[in-house]
Amino acid sequence: MPTDYDLLLSKATGLTYREIAGKYGLNEDSVRGRVSRSSTRENFIRLVGDMTQVGRLSQERVEQSRIIERAIAKLDTIRNKNKLTILNLADIHFPYQRQDALRLAYDIATQFKPNLVIEHDVFDFNNYGRWDNVESDSATLWSQDISNAIEVARIHHKLLEAPVLMLPSNHDKRLFDYLRRSTDGFSEQKILMWMKALENQGVLQVSNDPKQEMVVAIKDWRFVHGVTASTNNITMGKTTIEHCATSGHVYNTMSGHVHRSFEVSHMGVRHINTGCLCRFDMPYLSHRPNWQLGVTLLILEGKEWECDNVVFHEKGNKLTAKVRGIYFETELEKQKGYTI
């Protein structure tokens, strides 16, 4: 049973009365009264010492956690449906997106009306990583003004016309690491601003620490951005399935990360890897990458599932896709450098 001082310390570290009550299994009004009684000069002196040792959970971090809690509650409502249509969009990498590939993805979303769009590495954030020495002036300006990314995300998510789950990804880590290395005292406030902007767009966020390879469970499937960058498809499929296994149970898995479309069977389950929606001529690439444009459409109903792992193809001056027997095409975007 916590002491009155324990409750006061919890309040000082940023928890609400309701959260403290839930943490200790107490009545909220009782917590309020006990915190009030323990708010003495002697206890405040003690707080100064204790909080410099354990640190304070900032209000910004608390608000970030609440955004995650709200997202998980909404995700639970979606994944409890008996029938689900999920569209997986991997590796868009704004501002290095392929506009023609994105147009096909929007058209596919409009046609199939998914219950959930899963996306990862939506932004490149390369000027926060190790590629800043090769960025163009325009790309640097675009990335450094985070309001650009927020506005592009708003339009992008509106075009998808569906709830969006943003999986924590390695390029998100660049932004979060950059902000948390800041010494101006406002790093968590800036991250909160970013998370609030995405939440206002209907984006579900399940982590404020992209260092973690977050695995999201939906029925008998596990979704993760990517646990390895292996160039061997079989190795990547096996590694992902084994990474997502729990207590001896294995699941079908889906990821992106390596910008390649492939499928691997292992231990009686399936790994699906989704292609990318980005350009192949980013300034930090020294040679033509072995990438593929594409998306994945997954339909879950009870224990049954159907999956179209779609690769986009060039045909003349068109970029094309075929999904569940329906043909899509758009004008081909010519790149400055490498093409598919």
Residue 85 has pLDDT above 70, yes or no: yes
All domains in the chain, ordered by first residue: 4-57 (no CATH), 60-331 (3.60.21.10)
Closest residue by Cα to residue 126 from 115, 134, 118, 116:
134
Question: Bigger pLDDT: 99 or 173?
Answer: 99
Residue 337: pLDDT above 50? no
DSSP SS3 for 37: helix
Strands (E), the chain: 83-90, 116-120, 164-166, 203-205, 216-218, 221-223, 252-255, 262-266, 269-273, 294-301, 304-311, 313-315, 318-323, 326-331
Q: pLDDT digits over 178-191, tens only?
A: 888 777 778 888 89
**Which residues are CB-contacts of 230 (< 8 A; sequence separation ≥ 6)?**
236, 239, 258
- The residue among 69 and 210 whose pLDDT is bigger is 69
Whether residue 340 has pLDDT greater than 90: no
Tell me the Ramachandran region of residue 268: left when phi exceeds 0, alpha when psi lies from -120 to 50, beta otherwise: left
pLDDT in tens, 114-168: 999 999 999 987 765 554 444 555 555 555 678 888 999 999 999 999 999 999 8
Per-residue pLDDT tens for 272-323? 999 999 999 888 888 889 999 999 999 999 889 999 999 999 999 999 999 9
pLDDT top residue among 236 and 142: 236
Tell me what pLDDT residue 335 has.
64
| Residues ≥6 apart with Cβ < 8 Å to 158 | 201
Q: Which two tokens stand for residue 167?
A: 């999986």
Compute the C-alpha angle 81/262/203, nearest 5°: 40
The closest of 195, 340, 232, 323 to 280, measured between CA atoms, is 340
pLDDT of residue 339: 43
Residue 131: per-residue pLDDT: 45
Query: How far, in Å, CA of 330 to CA of 183, rounded?
Result: 47
- Residue pair 250/106 in contact (Cβ under 8 Å)? The answer is no
Residue 83: is its pLDDT beyond 90?
Answer: yes
The chain-wide mean pLDDT, for the chain, equals 88
Query: What is the predicted pLDDT for the residue at 134?
Result: 47
Burial class (CB in 10 A: 0-12, 13-18, 19+), 255: buried
- Structure tokens, 259: 């910008």
Query: What is the amino acid identity at position 258?
Result: V
pTM of the model: 0.82
